[in-house]
Amino acid sequence: MALGHEEPAAALTEPRLRLGCQSCGAMLVLEPSLRTTRCPYCAAPSVVERPPTPGVPEPRFALGFSLNHAAAREKVSHWLRSRSRFCRSGIRDAQPGDVHGVYVPAYLYSALATSRFQASIGENYQEQERYTTTENGKTVTRTRTVTRTEWRPLSGQVSGYVADVLVTASNGLHNDELEALEPFDLRGLARYTPALVSGWVAEEPTLTFEACLEKAREEVSGRLLDKLAALMPGDSHRELSHDSHLDWESLDVCLLPVWVLAVRYAQDAEPLRVLVNGQTGEVHGDAPLSVWKVAAAVVVGLLVVLGLWLFLQGGGR
Ligand SMILES: [Zn+2]
């Protein structure tokens, strides 16, 4: 028996258009009015209509954009101007081109972690040490204070809740790129409704649930080690290891706001892709270095060393 009346949310909005990028594999979902011929992630023109993918989980949560289009461009202009002098010519005075707001799918993971750990805990103590030395041609005995460490084993068990672990579910945005854009303030997460992302391009999760679960567990293992390290008593510790068990795992699809910009800085180069966290304005991109500028700097450096060496040789004569 149905206790409440469920609104058929999807039926209330117009049918959404599904496009697939044949270059990077992103699966885009958008309103017909937003029909695009280029992929917002990789700018490839090979975007084709595709049927719905069966078995794709619906997003559970979404985080809205707080940074508008103009502010994202401004962040990227500033970022470009502050790049290293060794970057390829044109990057520092390039103008950001197309800006696309994309709701990127990610998995939000949480679990209760129980860790059995063992480590060696070091306690420092001070001791007076006698030593002999030569003073004015005579051997004398003196004392000095030295710090020594006593090691003792420690093992135990701690449990705690791990939350807010994000791993990408997108083919268009890799996990290291997502990590570079983090943190997102997840207190702003709202329950997903199609209306929430209306007017925006969203991507469907393209990475499998299993692959993302594996990735999330890996991230958790690293975090647990850091957490345990912070808990260790004493002055220092070594050989910390843990065997952790995860219970009450949950993995939900959420949509994250990301601005994707293409920056064209040279006629003969692919546009540079720059990402902006649509909530915090954090910018990420890999500005390519100029081989020639780096090589020239190395040559100048070597010449300076050679010059100095010749100068010292000449002075020594
Ligand atoms: Zn693409």
Going residue by residue through the chain (317 aa), what tens digit of pLDDT does each one get?
334 444 444 444 567 888 888 888 888 888 877 777 788 888 777 788 888 777 778 889 999 999 998 999 999 989 888 888 888 888 888 888 778 899 999 999 999 999 999 999 999 999 998 999 888 888 899 999 999 999 999 999 999 999 889 999 988 888 899 999 999 999 999 999 888 888 888 888 888 888 889 999 999 988 899 999 999 999 999 999 999 999 999 999 999 999 998 888 888 877 788 999 999 999 998 878 877 777 888 888 888 888 888 888 876 55
Question: Residue 311: inside a domain, yes or no?
Answer: no
User: What pLDDT, on a 0 to 100 scale, did the predictor assign at position 64?
Assistant: 92
Gap from CA of 69 to ligand 1 centroid (Å): 20
User: What pLDDT, on a 0 to 100 scale, did the predictor assign at position 8?
Assistant: 44
Domain count, the chain: 1
Gap from CA of 151 to ligand 1 centroid (Å): 55
Q: Which two tokens stand for residue 227?
A: 């957490």
User: What pLDDT, on a 0 to 100 scale, did the predictor assign at position 200?
Assistant: 87
Gap from CA of 25 to ligand 1 centroid (Å): 6
Gap from CA of 39 to ligand 1 centroid (Å): 5
User: What pLDDT, on a 0 to 100 scale, did the predictor assign at position 118?
Assistant: 95
Question: Residue 81: inside a domain, yes or no?
Answer: yes
User: What pLDDT, on a 0 to 100 scale, did the predictor assign at position 207?
Assistant: 84
Question: Residue 11: inside a domain, yes or no?
Answer: no
User: What pLDDT, on a 0 to 100 scale, did the predictor assign at position 1?
Assistant: 38
Question: Residue 135: inside a domain, yes or no?
Answer: yes
Gap from CA of 190 to ligand 1 centroid (Å): 27
Residue 128 domain boundaries: 16-299
Gap from CA of 191 to ligand 1 centroid (Å): 28
Gap from CA of 71 to ligand 1 centroid (Å): 24
Question: Residue 3: inside a domain, yes or no?
Answer: no
Residue 114 makes CB contacts below 8 A (sequence gap 6+) with 157, 158, 159, 244, 245, 247
Question: Residue 304: inside a domain, yes or no?
Answer: no
Gap from CA of 43 to ligand 1 centroid (Å): 6
d(CA 255, CA 107): 9
Residue 280 makes CB contacts below 8 A (sequence gap 6+) with 66, 67, 183, 184, 185
Question: Residue 283: inside a domain, yes or no?
Answer: yes
